[in-house]
Amino acid sequence: QSALTQPASVSGSPGQSITISCTGTSSDVGGYNYVSWYQQHPGKAPKLMIYDVSNRPSGVSNRFSGSKSGNTASLTISGLQAEDEADYYCSSYTSSSTLVFGTGTKVTVL
């Protein structure tokens, strides 16, 4: 199972909106509504930000939103803040009953 494809880096100024893409196939992202997104700060464990494509766990800011179109899922961060600077990973259930992560995206707040 190959990793899902994410851009290596995305940047934006405070207050702006950015979108991170996560591209897979019809055997993973496109075939199921089981896409999740994680935020990871250096030296820390990942934190769940979005589950089931577009749902936010309690306590996660509504500045984070998720969507999916075909084989590509997206995470949008609106009103970018300094604390959003981190690595972000998508994940999807697959037709092999396994789970696969994306390659990861480093978000930089300019």
In terms of CB distance, is 16 or 30 closer to another protein?
A: 30
Closest approach, Cβ 83 to another protein, in A, equals 19
Structure tokens at 46: 């990942």
Q: Which stretch binds another protein (CB under 8 A): 15-23, 72-80, 86-94?
A: 86-94
Q: What are the backbone angles phi and psi of residue 31, rounded to the nearest 5°?
A: -100, -10
How far are the Cα atoms of 73, 106, 110 from residue 50, in angstroms, in the given order?
11, 17, 24
**Does 103 sit near another protein (CB under 8 A)?**
yes
**Does 99 sit near another protein (CB under 8 A)?**
yes
For residue 108, what are the β-bridge partners? 11
Binding test (CB under 8 A) with another protein, winner from 5, 27, 30, 48: 48
Q: Are 44 and 91 in contact (CB under 8 A)?
A: no
**Does 93 sit near another protein (CB under 8 A)?**
yes
The Cα–Cα gap between 9 and 102 comes to: 13
The Cα–Cα gap between 83 and 86 comes to: 8
**Does 1 sit near another protein (CB under 8 A)?**
yes
**Interface with another protein by CB under 8 A: which residues?**
1, 3, 32, 34, 36, 38, 40, 45-48, 50-52, 57, 89, 91-93, 97-104
